[in-house]
Structure 1
Amino acid sequence: MSTAAWPAREADETALPHFTVSRTARAAPTEEELITGCLAGRQLAQKQLYDKYAARMMAVCLRYAQTTFEAEDVLQEGFLTVFRTLGSFRRECPLEFWIRRVMVNAALRQHRRNAPLVAVSDAEYPAALASPEFTLSNYSFQELLALVQELAPRYRMVFNLYAIEGYNHREIGELMGISEGTSKSQYSRARAILQAKLERLGTPPRHDS
């Protein structure tokens, strides 16, 4: 954050003691300082917290949303929840992890709101499971992002929760109101869809050196 400009002086400066101000950049606030400032309702602290985490949280929201506009809605709702419920943060994990969970929950709420509006035929998707050799980690984030966004909402949610966030299928079932078996089935179907799309595009795996 740049330092605010000093106001212009109209008084005779000879009447003031002469001193030199050393302008040094302020160190970025610590996580604890950001939390304390936000809990006190300081707008500067809220802006600093938003600026620090917004880009990373937008990447999370994009995986769950079908469009950038949708992701921005999730991001906004998520940060409103962050500022409203920050007092419940118990500091048992890094603040970023807690904010990430808030964003995932915001995405789940949006999914529940939109789910009745989305009709998808299972016939449009391959019934076969992805081969065991198919590993999504061989592909870059950008290669996968567009394809993940094309998944039907229920497949996209389960895929992200299991493959990215690390929830198990029992937990996903509780979060989404589905059975553990349905979660497993939809995750397997999502992987098969992604494999089919990548093969159709002829996208070679990324090989990290």
Structure 2
Amino acid sequence: MEIEKDLINACLQNDRVAQRKLYQAYAGRMLVICTRYAQSKAEAEDILQDAFIKIFQNLGSFRGESTIGAWIKRIVVNTAIKHIRSQQHWQDVSDVSEYENQFTDGLTSIEGIQFQELIAMIQKLPKGCQTVFNLYAIEGFQHHEIAEMLGISEGTSKSQYSRAKQLLQTQLSLDKIQR
């Protein structure tokens, strides 16, 4: 923890070596997060770059109430959400019942699916579905929180998530047939 504090203080003094160390310590893990929200590797790298600019600009506001890793992750997720919101990929569905109860307990088994294959499947989802799926299923946010973050209705969040599950289930089924 003391090493982390020293690194942060050095970054605040615009020490380029310290900034590079902080970037190298977290960039790989944060790129994985960005990849889940992006349609391509290039888009994920752009989101990551924007996030690290914000991280270095706002490092002075880090209060140490959580780990630096958790603080960085929050900025990365928020940067990805802002990027997505700017693209307006929402499909407003007022009748959530058309998607509800189509599934038993989530997706079909993903046994045998490699991580990169799963990421590729998530990236193929329509942007709105992809974002809500990531926020709900992976990041653990509730639909009312997602709605607030994205400026959409809670029903839209639920329908986007249900549609994402349906599309992923279809992709998993097709993948299973092809194996």
Class of the TM-score when normalised by the shorter of the 2 chains: 0.7 to 0.9
Q: What is the rounded CA distance, in whole Å, between the counterparts of 1:186 and 1:72 in structure 2? A: 25
Unaligned runs of 5+ in 2: none
1:37 is aligned to 2:1: no
Match in the other structure for 1:186 = 160
Q: What is the rounded CA distance, in whole Å, between the counterparts of 1:45 and 1:92 in structure 2? A: 21
1:52 is aligned to 2:25: yes
* Structure index of larger Rg: 1
- 1:1-209 to structure 2, matched below 5 A, reads 30-115=3-88, 129-132=102-105, 134=107, 138=111, 139-202=113-176
Shift of 1:34: 1.3
Unaligned runs of 5+ in 1: 1-28, 205-209
Q: What is the rounded CA distance, in whole Å, between the counterparts of 1:84 and 1:57 in structure 2? A: 17
Whether the 8 Å contact between 1:169 and 1:184 is mirrored in structure 2 is: yes
Shift of 1:101: 0.9
Shift of 1:181: 1.8
Shift of 1:96: 0.8
Q: What is the rounded CA distance, in whole Å, between the counterparts of 1:61 and 1:34 in structure 2? A: 24
Amino acid at match of 2:163: R
Q: What is the rounded CA distance, in whole Å, between the counterparts of 1:166 and 1:137 in structure 2? A: 19
Query: Identity over the aligned pairs, expressed in percent?
Result: 45
Higher helix share: 2
Q: What is the rounded CA distance, in whole Å, between the counterparts of 2:79 and 2:42 in structure 1? A: 14
CA RMSD of aligned residues (A): 2.4
Whether the 8 Å contact between 1:63 and 1:160 is mirrored in structure 2 is: yes
**TM-score, scaled to structure 2:** 0.86
Whether the 8 Å contact between 1:130 and 1:195 is mirrored in structure 2 is: no
Whether the 8 Å contact between 1:61 and 1:75 is mirrored in structure 2 is: yes
Q: What is the rounded CA distance, in whole Å, between the counterparts of 1:173 and 1:203 in structure 2? A: 36
Cα separation, partners in 2 of 1:91 and 1:69, compared to 1, 3 Å: same
Amino acid at match of 1:70: E
Q: What is the rounded CA distance, in whole Å, between the counterparts of 1:159 and 1:203 in structure 2? A: 24
Match in the other structure for 1:10 = none
Match in the other structure for 1:16 = none
Greater shift after overlay, 176-185 or 145-154? 176-185
* SS across alignment from 1:167: coil
Q: Which has the higher contact order (CA 8 A, sep 6+)?
A: 2
**TM-score, scaled to structure 1:** 0.74
